[in-house]
Each structure stands twice: as C-alpha cells, then as structure tokens.
Amino acid sequence: MSVDFTIQFIATSHKAPTPMATQVDDPRIIEFDVRTDEMLVNMGPQHPSTHGVLRLVLRTDGEIVSETTPHIGYLHRCAEKIGENITPRQWIPYTDRMDYLAGMNMNLGWALVVEKLLNLELPEKARHLRVLIVELNRIASHLVGMGAYGLDLGTFSPFLYAFREREKILDLFEEACGARLTYSYLTVGGATADLPPGWLQKCEAFLDQLLPVIKEYHTLLTSNAIFVRRTVGIGVLPREMAIDHGCTGPVLRGSGVNHDLRRDGEQRYTEMYDGYAFEVIVEQDGHYPRDHDYPPVPKQAVLGDCWHRFYVRMLEVMQSIDLIRQAIDRYSTATGSFGEPVKLTEKLPKGEAYMETEAPRGQMGFYIVSTGNGAIPWRARARSSSFCNLSVTEKLCRGCLIADVPAIVGSLDVVMGEIDR
C-alpha cells in the first residue's frame, strides 16, 4: 500500500525551476510527488536500546510508526521448570538471573514466599538487614536505568557517571557476600552471612558522597533542554491505561497512581518497613515529594510521559538513601541474629503461597505450591513486572516517530531476563 502526498519547500536561490517542477505562482516553490511505502522494520533483537534481547517489529509509513509488536522469549531458560526439581534454597541463584540488575530484590521475593509457606518469622535484625540491602540495590538498579536511558537518547557522559557510582555499590555487595551481580545473599531464613566489620561505615560514607552527585545527574539529564525535548509529551500513559495493563512500579507512579507495595502490600512484607519514614514518589497537586530540592516539572510535561517516568526513578534514589540511613540506625541497635538460612533439605508443608514485593521495576511476584511430600516444590512460578510494563508498548508507540521508540521503550526500563526466565 502506498500513499501519495506533496512536499513543498522554499528554494534558497533564484535559479530557474528544474524540469520536474510544476507551474505555480511563486517561482521559489517547487512541488513534486513523493511516494512512501509501508515497511516492516526490525528493531532488535540485538538493538542496544532494547535493554536486553528484545525484538520490536515496527510497521512504518515513512517516519511514522503505525504498529509495534514486541517479540519476546530470546532469554528463556526454563527457570520455573528447574524450580520444580530442586529445593527452594537451591533455586535462589536462579532468581538472581531474572532481573539481573536487582538480584537482591529477586532473592528477597522468593525468600519471603517460602517463609510464608513455612510460617517462618525472622528476627528484627534480619528484617532491617534486608531493607538496607534491597534499597541499596534499588539505587544501583535506578543508576543503570538512568545512565542507559541517556545512552538511548544520544548522550554518553551520564552513562559513565552512573556506572562509576554503581561500581561503589557493587564493591559493598562484594564485601558482604563475595559477588557483584548474582548475589544469592538474601535467602530463606535470613541471609547467608552477617555484614562484615566496618561495612556500615563504608556504606554511610558512600551515601554522603552520592548526595551531591545526584544533583549533577539532574543537571546532565533532568533539566537538560535536549533531554526535555526528547521526553516531554512523548509516550503518554494515562493512569487508566496503566491500571488496565497491570503496570506497576515507577511506570505506574509516573502516571499519577499512588501505589507502593512497601506501604500497601502484604503484612509479611510491609512489616519490614514498619516505623520507617518515607513518602510514595508520585505527583500530587502538581508536585512530587522533595521536588523542591531538584529541577521543577517542565511546564510542557504531561503526567504519564517519558519524562515523568524518568523523574520518579531519580526521586526514588533519594528515597532509598533516606531508607538506608534509617535501616543502618535500626540494624545497629537491633537484637537477635541476621537470620540463619533453613536447611537445604527442609521439608515443605502441604499448601501454596504467593507474595509480591516492590522491586525496582515494579511488583515482582513469586508463587510456590507444595504437596507436602518432601523438600522440592510441586510448582514454582514468577510474575514479572517488566512483562506487564512492556505490554503498553504497542499503544504508546502508535503514531510516534521511529526516533521516539527508543525513548518510549527506555522509559519503561524493562529487563528481558525477568520477562523470559
């Protein structure tokens, strides 16, 4: 199918019209017919803007995208089937490899659902340790999202700065558990080890150093005129559409929905944050919590656009810094142990359990079913937040420019390892 349309432009000189020009009143105006054919364009599965191995098939008419179809499954590793053949503690390393940018948060989700099935209560110190670790991992994850998003839109410097700070977090994780990416640190029953001596002081020193750096990131991206032009009013996700598609996390809060499982989730999860002071990062009455310290929302921004989703993650970094400071104070004075891991061969009672946690990309859910005949579950299942967030891609990209597709997909901040599993 082809479409004919006429392009007009003003000639820069007073030369005679070319032979292909038609007769018009103004000799500077040249008219000619241009035919555009509908094309199918593959973006991925190796495209750097897809944050993993994702293939987007774009149906285009010129520079306009009329249809976007995501193709997933390139990272499928049968993780859930493997979970039906090993014990819950043995499956912890497989959760690391789902959202590999937030392995601690994945470990926590699976550990909580197994503890729910076992009806296992943790010591106070273990709960504060978990808050400290997962919020630190949330910062590391959002730093990658921020740096990679700048890279998607054509700026390289923020990516380098973000990874510089993330490396310092990975140094802390390596000192605590010996790994920098796939941790398997938070496990069923607590953690594999207590924090080493001097670790808390190093963590506080890092937070002190990170605070002024965040303002530099806002200068580089949040208030950058080019970045604003590329994200404001692009990929607008209305709150009704976000809810209908099951979007969660910063994608949902970027559309103005006041929901965070750390406050609104199941008691076994929210009790970790009992007594912690924090506000859900969502725009209310035209303002975000603590936004007076940072660049204001651009006047041309539309709630639910790419800029708002990015800004929510930036403010959540500050939120996590506050939570980590509170966790350090509580952990230092808490009684009890860091939580001893259960035995590898711990028998599971008959029953089922489901639990969702607030991971950096949204609500990550885990489901376990046991027949009560041993230590190996009958069913292990994961609910991906990135899968639901990715489902809005087709509607957000409809009618946009090809150049805006990386901006829209990047603002969703999906991790394909979590989707494919």
Q: Residue 187: enclosing H or E segment and its boundaries? A: strand 186-187
pTM (two decimals):
0.86
DSSP 15: P
Q: Cβ atoms within 10 A of the Cβ of 87, count?
A: 21
Sign of CA dihedral 304, 310, 314, 316: positive
User: What's the burial of 332, exposed, middle or buried (CB within 10 Å: 0-12/13-18/19+)?
Assistant: exposed
- pLDDT per position as a tens digit, 221-275: 888 889 889 899 888 999 999 999 999 999 999 998 999 999 998 999 999 998 8
Cα atoms in the 13 Å half-sphere on the side-chain side of 289 = 19
Q: Cβ atoms within 10 A of the Cβ of 379, count?
A: 14
Q: What is the pLDDT of residue 12?
A: 34
Q: What are the domain boundaries of the chain?
A: 79-420
Q: Residue 90: enclosing H or E segment and its boundaries? A: helix 88-96
Q: Cβ atoms within 10 A of the Cβ of 212, count?
A: 8
Among candidate residues 243, 237, 244, 238, the one with its CA nearest the CA of residue 393: 237
Position 21, amino acid: A
Domain spanning 79-420 has what CATH number?
A: 1.10.645.10
Residues sharing a CB contact under 8 Å with residue 46, sequence separation 6 or more, in sequence order: 53
Q: What is the pLDDT of residue 23?
A: 43
Q: What is the pLDDT of residue 287?
A: 80
Residues of the chain with pLDDT under 50: 1-24, 26, 28-30, 32
What's the gap between Cα 239 and its chain centre? 18
